[in-house]
Amino acid sequence: MSVLHITKENFEQEVLQSDRPVLLDFWADWCMPCKMLSPVIDEIAAENPQVKVGKINIDEQMELAQSFQVMSIPTLMVFKDGQKQSTSVGVQPKTAILEMLG
Protein backbone atom coordinates (compact mmCIF):
# COMPACT_ATOMS: atom_id res chain seq x y z
CA MET A 1 0.00 0.00 0.00
CA SER A 2 1.21 3.51 -0.69
CA VAL A 3 1.95 6.12 1.94
CA LEU A 4 -0.92 8.50 2.73
CA HIS A 5 -0.55 12.24 3.05
CA ILE A 6 -2.22 12.97 6.39
CA THR A 7 -3.75 16.38 7.07
CA LYS A 8 -5.98 17.73 9.81
CA GLU A 9 -8.86 17.33 7.34
CA ASN A 10 -8.39 13.56 6.88
CA PHE A 11 -6.78 12.68 10.23
CA GLU A 12 -9.95 11.46 11.93
CA GLN A 13 -11.03 9.28 9.02
CA GLU A 14 -7.61 7.86 8.09
CA VAL A 15 -6.12 7.47 11.59
CA LEU A 16 -8.71 7.54 14.37
CA GLN A 17 -11.34 5.54 12.46
CA SER A 18 -8.90 3.13 10.80
CA ASP A 19 -9.65 -0.58 11.10
CA ARG A 20 -5.91 -1.28 10.81
CA PRO A 21 -2.90 -0.13 12.84
CA VAL A 22 -1.56 3.22 11.60
CA LEU A 23 2.09 4.27 11.49
CA LEU A 24 2.54 8.04 11.32
CA ASP A 25 5.77 9.74 10.30
CA PHE A 26 6.05 13.41 11.36
CA TRP A 27 8.65 15.00 9.06
CA ALA A 28 9.75 18.15 7.19
CA ASP A 29 11.49 18.90 3.88
CA TRP A 30 14.48 20.51 5.60
CA CYS A 31 15.08 17.59 7.98
CA MET A 32 18.02 15.39 6.88
CA PRO A 33 17.28 12.52 9.30
CA CYS A 34 13.69 12.54 7.96
CA LYS A 35 15.02 12.11 4.44
CA MET A 36 17.16 9.19 5.63
CA LEU A 37 14.12 7.53 7.23
CA SER A 38 11.71 8.14 4.35
CA PRO A 39 12.74 5.13 2.17
CA VAL A 40 12.36 2.83 5.21
CA ILE A 41 8.85 4.16 5.83
CA ASP A 42 8.01 3.64 2.13
CA GLU A 43 9.31 0.04 2.33
CA ILE A 44 7.20 -0.70 5.40
CA ALA A 45 4.12 0.68 3.60
CA ALA A 46 4.81 -1.47 0.53
CA GLU A 47 5.57 -4.68 2.45
CA ASN A 48 2.83 -4.52 5.12
CA PRO A 49 -0.66 -4.16 3.62
CA GLN A 50 -2.17 -4.87 7.05
CA VAL A 51 -0.77 -1.50 8.26
CA LYS A 52 -1.80 1.97 7.14
CA VAL A 53 1.20 4.31 6.80
CA GLY A 54 0.89 8.08 6.75
CA LYS A 55 3.25 11.03 6.64
CA ILE A 56 2.55 14.37 8.26
CA ASN A 57 4.58 17.36 7.07
CA ILE A 58 4.91 19.43 10.25
CA ASP A 59 5.41 22.68 8.32
CA GLU A 60 2.08 22.21 6.54
CA GLN A 61 0.26 20.61 9.50
CA MET A 62 1.53 22.55 12.52
CA GLU A 63 -1.77 22.04 14.34
CA LEU A 64 -1.43 18.24 14.24
CA ALA A 65 2.23 18.38 15.28
CA GLN A 66 1.36 20.64 18.22
CA SER A 67 -1.60 18.53 19.30
CA PHE A 68 0.72 15.52 19.62
CA GLN A 69 3.53 17.59 21.17
CA VAL A 70 6.01 16.75 18.42
CA MET A 71 9.19 18.56 19.50
CA SER A 72 11.78 16.77 17.35
CA ILE A 73 11.59 15.09 13.99
CA PRO A 74 11.44 12.50 12.69
CA THR A 75 8.83 11.33 15.18
CA LEU A 76 6.97 8.07 14.59
CA MET A 77 3.67 7.20 16.25
CA VAL A 78 1.58 4.05 16.10
CA PHE A 79 -2.19 4.23 16.52
CA LYS A 80 -4.46 1.24 17.08
CA ASP A 81 -8.23 1.48 17.44
CA GLY A 82 -8.02 5.28 17.46
CA GLN A 83 -5.55 5.38 20.37
CA LYS A 84 -1.87 6.31 20.32
CA GLN A 85 0.05 3.18 21.33
CA SER A 86 3.70 4.18 20.99
CA THR A 87 6.04 6.97 19.96
CA SER A 88 9.67 7.07 18.92
CA VAL A 89 11.87 10.05 18.12
CA GLY A 90 14.82 10.01 15.73
CA VAL A 91 15.89 7.65 12.98
CA GLN A 92 15.05 4.06 13.84
CA PRO A 93 16.07 0.83 12.11
CA LYS A 94 13.32 -0.93 10.18
CA THR A 95 13.25 -3.77 12.72
CA ALA A 96 12.55 -1.36 15.59
CA ILE A 97 9.71 0.29 13.64
CA LEU A 98 8.19 -3.11 12.85
CA GLU A 99 8.43 -4.01 16.56
CA MET A 100 6.47 -0.82 17.38
CA LEU A 101 3.72 -2.12 15.09
CA GLY A 102 3.97 -5.57 16.71
pTM over 0.85: yes
Beta strands 52-57 and 75-80: pairing type?
Answer: unpaired
Whether the predicted pLDDT of 1 surpasses 80: no
Other CB atoms within a 10 A radius of the CB of residue 52 amount to 21
Tens digits of residue pLDDT in 73-85: 999 999 999 999 9
- Residues marked active site are found at 31, 34
Tens digits of residue pLDDT in 3-58: 999 999 999 999 999 999 999 999 999 999 999 999 999 999 999 999 999 999 99
CATH (domain of 30)? 3.40.30.10
Radius of gyration of the chain (CA): 12
- Whole-number pLDDT of residue 102: 86
Q: Domain limits at 48?
A: 4-101
Structural domains in the chain (count)? 1
